[in-house]
Amino acid sequence: MNQILSTNEAAQLLINDEFARWSRAGALALAEYLEELELSQNYEIQFNAIALRCEYSEFECLKDWIKEYYGEDLQPAIKSAGIDLEGDEDEEDVSELIRSHILDHGELIEFSGGIIVSSF
């Protein structure tokens, strides 16, 4: 037995997960991403809020993600991730290097107000 969820219903189920930290915008972005994935792969996803909480995490920005995933300080975290900096990168360059690193290893969902990254 399957129940078809709307985007808003799926987002609300994510928000209702008391152990998750989804913002409204993040929950909507993830629900929209999953809908697009279903359409592009012609495959029905079985919604599981717990599995999604374990598979994806929301952050305010790329730098917050790398610091949480690889360490508390930005420069050591970037080095731990295996990202080589030449030293003359500006903030936008560093963000692009982090973005590329995520996309090389997992999934990145960017939305107004933050990002969602898959576990890898």
DSSP state string for 33-100:
HHHHHHHHHT------HHHHHHHEEEESSHHHHHHHHH-SSHHHHHHHTT----S---HHHHHHHHHH
Examine the pLDDT at 88 and tell me if it is beyond 90: no
Q: Is 84 exposed, middle or buried, given 0-12, 13-18 or 19+ CB atoms closer than 10 A?
A: exposed
What pLDDT is attached to residue 1?
A: 57
Q: What average pLDDT score do residues 25-34 get?
A: 98
At 81, the pLDDT band (50, 70, 90 cuts) reads: very high
Question: Of all residues in the chain, what percent carry a pLDDT higher than 90?
Answer: 88
Q: What average pLDDT score do residues 43-57 get?
A: 95
Examine the pLDDT at 110 and tell me if it is beyond 60: yes
